[in-house]
């Protein structure tokens, strides 16, 4: 029998050398191609106790069947919607994620979207760049002030609160709606509203909630219909929170003024999907946490989560800590 055998782990995430070395010091590491299809990853996990990955990994019961020795699945993301957490819990697998360290990055992107939509930044930039200004063509119409407008935040967790603080500093009024009635401890002062009332009162509606069975398509045709005709929808959370077909219709008919989307129902989108090309939509390729510093902090936290569980310690960010109890 081999004594003190290092636990085997599979890394399906691009990692800096120092973080890789931290893992290799205590684990037997197998590196999986992060771009490869999941079928390849599934073949590489039959004997591993830990997996470090991204939301590209769809962990359902078949995935867990392929990794019978698994003790920890550490995802380098705050969202863990592609992971069947109850199934992981049943199998004694600790799921960990990376909350907190990306709050500011996502809040800043949300603010950038508010500015871009309200001030028509992209239309004006392309008017200048394409020579429209030089040719004295008709400029894009005027933008709108941000101060005095109302932002409705759906999901008053860490990121929703961070966005609220920032827009209040810009003179915006804020509302929030969530599954809970009382504001979380430490949350900024903001008025709570049932979802329908928030949609009807807001000039900007921003989504900051988790994706799960109860929030899937929480914004559909009926909800879009409740929004003000001049309102904007912002989604930096998860694409399937919004019924994208209904949103496309609402944007095409001018039922709402516009949308800023960092996430879509299918990522990357189908090349035929026109939502990314609508004139009143600005769309980004899921860059909410995509700054050097934030991504590094996420990777550090994900590695810490992995190593702590393997060492029998409580990790900093478990999703299902009951497995360790």
Query: Which parts of this chain interact with ligand DGY (CB under 6 A)?
Result: 55, 77-79, 102, 288-289
- Strand 173-177 relative to strand 150-154, pairing: parallel
Q: How far apart are CA 224 and CA 47, in angstroms?
A: 48
Nearer to ligand DGY, 174 or 235 (CB): 235
Residue 71 designated active-site: no
**Shortest distance (Å) from residue 262 CB to ligand DGY:** 8
Nearer to ligand DGY, 27 or 51 (CB): 51
**Shortest distance (Å) from residue 245 CB to ligand DGY:** 22
Q: What size, in residues, is the chain?
A: 325
Residue 238 designated active-site: yes
- Per the residue annotation, which of 71, 208, 238, 299 is the catalytic one? 238
Residue 216 designated active-site: no
- Per the residue annotation, which of 286, 292, 293, 299 is the catalytic one? 286
**Shortest distance (Å) from residue 289 CB to ligand DGY:** 5
Nearer to ligand DGY, 77 or 177 (CB): 77
**Shortest distance (Å) from residue 272 CB to ligand DGY:** 24
Nearer to ligand DGY, 57 or 250 (CB): 57
Please provide residue 10's backbone torsions phi and psi, each rounded to the nearest 5 degrees: -115, 125
Q: How far apart are CA 118 and CA 137, in angstroms?
A: 21
Nearer to ligand DGY, 9 or 102 (CB): 102
Scanning the chain, the segments in alpha helix (DSSP H) are 17-24, 38-43, 61-65, 85-90, 103-118, 121-129, 158-169, 195-201, 221-226, 244-252, 292-310
Among the listed residues 37, 29, 86, 38, the one whose alpha carbon sits nearest the alpha carbon of residue 61:
86
Bridge partners, 205 (sequence order): 152, 233
Is 108 within 8 Å of 102 (Cβ atoms)? no
Query: Which DSSP state fits 318?
Result: B
**Shortest distance (Å) from residue 192 CB to ligand DGY:** 25
**Shortest distance (Å) from residue 75 CB to ligand DGY:** 8
- Per the residue annotation, which of 16, 40, 267, 293 is the catalytic one? 267
Q: How far apart are CA 119 and CA 122, in angstroms?
A: 9
Nearer to ligand DGY, 102 or 113 (CB): 102
Is 236 within 8 Å of 112 (Cβ atoms)? no
Please provide residue 205's backbone torsions phi and psi, each rounded to the nearest 5 degrees: -120, 125
Active site residues: 238, 267, 286
């Amino acid at each position: 029998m081999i004594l003190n055998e290092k636990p085997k782990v599979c890394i399906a995430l691009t990692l800096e050398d120092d973080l890789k070395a931290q893992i290799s010091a205590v684990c037997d590491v197998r590196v999986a191609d992060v771009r490869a299809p999941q079928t390849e990853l599934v073949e590489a996990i039959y004997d591993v106790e830990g997996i470090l990955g991204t939301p590209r990994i769809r962990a359902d019961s078949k995935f867990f069947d392929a990794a019978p020795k698994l003790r920890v699945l550490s995802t380098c993301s705050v969202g863990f919607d592609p992971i069947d957490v109850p199934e992981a819990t049943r199998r004694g697998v600790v799921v960990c994620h990376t909350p907190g360290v990306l709050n500011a990055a996502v809040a800043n992107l949300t603010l950038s979207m508010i500015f871009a939509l309200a001030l028509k930044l992209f239309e004006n930039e392309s008017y200048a760049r394409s020579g429209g200004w030089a040719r004295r063509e008709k400029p894009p119409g005027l933008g709108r002030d941000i101060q005095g407008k109302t932002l409705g935040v759906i999901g008053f967790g860490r990121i929703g609160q961070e966005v609220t603080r920032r827009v209040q500093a810009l003179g915006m009024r804020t509302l929030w709606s969530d599954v809970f009635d009382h504001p979380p401890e430490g949350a900024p002062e903001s008025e709570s509203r049932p979802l329908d009332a928030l949609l009807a009162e807001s000039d900007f509606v921003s989504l900051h909630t988790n994706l799960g069975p109860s929030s899937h398509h929480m914004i559909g045709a009926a909800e879009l219909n409740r929004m003000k005709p001049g309102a904007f929808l912002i989604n930096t959370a998860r694409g399937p929170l919004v019924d994208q077909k209904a949103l496309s219709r609402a944007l095409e008919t001018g039922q709402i003024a516009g949308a800023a989307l960092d996430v879509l129902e299918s990522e990357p989108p189908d090349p035929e999907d026109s939502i990314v090309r609508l004139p009143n939509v600005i769309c980004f390729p899921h860059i909410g946490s995509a700054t050097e510093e934030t991504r590094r902090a996420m990777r550090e936290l994900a590695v810490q989560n992995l190593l702590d569980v393997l060492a029998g310690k409580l990790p900093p960010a478990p999703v299902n800590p009951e497995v360790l109890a």
